[in-house]
Amino acid sequence: MKLDIPTVTTKRLILRGPEPQDFEAHVTFFADADRSWGFGGPENRNGAWRWFASNIGHWVLRGYGYWTITDKSSGALYGITGLWHPEGWPEAELGWVAFVGAEGKGILFEAATAARAYIYANMGIKSLPSYIMPGNKRSIALAERLGATYELSYENISHGTELVYRHPPPGALT
């Protein structure tokens, strides 16, 4: 079954649907406790598989999910970004993950900006939060760079206390 997942491109990046060869990068990410703690990790290989497969299922059930962020020229995998709304969450959120080697290059900013623009333009969503674990300084900095502001803290059924950063609405983006 081939999913009809839109592709989003930027100057340097391609945001595309998950493919089988992307799985090993997820295993590496989830195995690294320092990197994955803000995303529910660490996870063993089986847990990484369940997460990877649930993202594909999310595209089927919700019509959206996380895109894989790839380099336009080399095809290198940089991470994931997109819209996520598991059962029990109050609303869909804009989320992101950087794989090893993707930090400090503006990759997640570029990818999340493009994902947010696509979501606002094509999905009828007019307000987006990002849910961030307290202490995840890199994600907070990225949310703020994207123009999101702290709104409140809430108890996420999956992760406990999370900070809600609200993104500017479509008309407020420059």
In this structure, what CATH number is given to the domain that contains residue 96? 3.40.630.30
pLDDT digits (tens, 9 = 90+) for 12-70: 999 999 999 999 999 999 999 999 988 889 999 999 999 999 999 999 999 999 999 99
pLDDT at 125: 94
> How many domains would you assign to the chain?
1
pLDDT digits (tens, 9 = 90+) for 140-155: 999 999 999 999 999 9
Is the pLDDT reported for residue 106 higher than 90? Answer: yes
DSSP H/E element including 93:
strand 93-98
Is the pLDDT reported for residue 174 higher than 80? Answer: no
Is 140 part of any domain? Answer: no
Is 35 part of any domain? Answer: yes
Is the pLDDT reported for residue 1 higher than 80? Answer: no
81 is in which domain, residue-wise?
A: 8-125
Within 13 Å of residue 169, how many CA atoms lie on the same side as its CB? Answer: 5
The average pLDDT across 95-112 equals 95
Is 112 part of any domain? Answer: yes
Q: Closest Cα to residue 130, out of 85, 173, 98?
A: 85
Is 154 part of any domain? Answer: no
Please state, in angstroms and rounded to a whole number, the distance separating the CA atoms of residues 141 and 128.
17
DSSP code, position 170? G
Q: Is 48 within 8 Å of 149 (Cβ atoms)?
A: no
- From residue 29, how far is each of 1, 101, 104, 112, 139 by CA, in Å? 27, 11, 17, 18, 16
pLDDT digits (tens, 9 = 90+) for 77-103: 999 999 999 999 999 999 999 999 999
Is the pLDDT reported for residue 110 higher than 90? Answer: yes
pLDDT at 161: 95
Is 33 part of any domain? Answer: yes
Is 84 part of any domain? Answer: yes
Cβ-count burial of 71 within 10 angstroms (0-12 exposed, 13-18 middle, 19+ buried)? middle
Is 83 part of any domain? Answer: yes
Is 20 part of any domain? Answer: yes
The average pLDDT across 98-125 equals 96
